[in-house]
Amino acid sequence: MQYRTLGRTGVQVRTLVLGAMNFGSLGRTTQDEATAMVDAAVDAGINLIDTADWYSQGESEEMVGKAIAGRRDDLVLATKAAMPMSDERNHRGGSRRWLVTALDNSLRRLGVDHVDLYQIHRWDPSTSDEETLSALTDLQRAGKIRYFGSSTFPAYRIVQGQWAARENHLSRYVTEQPCYSILQRGIETHVLPVTEQYGLGVLAWSPLASGWLSGAIREDRQITTHRSSFMPQRFDTSIPSNRAKMAAVEQLAELADASGLTMIQLALGFVTAHRAVTSAIIGPRTMDHLRSQLAAADTVLSSDVLDAIDAIVAPGADLAPDEKHDTPPALLDATQRRR
């Protein structure tokens, strides 16, 4: 498994990151299972673990903390904040008031005195960039975080964040964590050129497209993945975007077979082939999932295979644009575009 530099930080990380979203009630993964997966991932060379306070409302962080006890200094530890942690309206977002509290809560759950990478889980349109960056800079200077980054920010917000840091003499975001897979390639058009311009590390989430590229979903099989039980609309084949995904998956499966690859190797090899991507985040729910994903860690796709993928899903195309999380608010709220 390759090492790559995380943006301009000098920190070396593997091309696969262990994502802990499924640890806890969301993925029905127990502490023993989570610890076993962390052990196996670390033994395989993975050295960055990514979680968030929002995952199972803090349970994922607690499980990660227990799993890494005694070897924290050998790992790059990342978590996130900004998603709602309760019905209280101030227990979310990017305000100084919340981020200071949220980080203390995360450190307590993780059982550590600092995290290496603290990420704003989603852009908060109600909070100024200066407010958020000032709070993050102070937390960095206090030694509670080493670096900070963004997650699923639209390209223009990434640019605005860089500008605001420079204008106000504050520390800047050093990473971005976008959704990226063969089926969702929109960030190639706008986000990845911006991250390259500013030298940001890129940690791509959902490289298997919520299981669509795992090999388990095919036209002749009933869809029974864990995700389909709580996000049925993303797997309902009566929806045009899902039919488009299924058609692409069938062609990709033929390509994988002809190339002597598994679907997982094809999917992860595609994401890590992009020169702007540092690592792909895998989010196993079981040890079998992890093993199949670790087996794809060193996959390097040939130019012919990459060209064939482009012929199936065009560069810069999102087959399910309604599933994106970086759409400007004005496109989601009619009152903001029709006054």
Residues that are catalytic: 55
Cβ atoms < 10 Å from Cβ of 138: 16
- Three-class SS of residue 180? coil
Cα 277 to Cα 59, 177, 316: the distances in Å are 29, 10, 15
Contact criterion met (CB below 8 Å) for 299 and 268: yes
Which tokens sit at 262?
A: 């598994």
DSSP state, 193? H
- Three-class SS of residue 95? coil
Contact criterion met (CB below 8 Å) for 6 and 201: yes
Cβ atoms < 10 Å from Cβ of 100: 15
Cα 262 to Cα 2, 181, 216, 257, 265: the distances in Å are 20, 15, 11, 7, 5
- Three-class SS of residue 287? helix
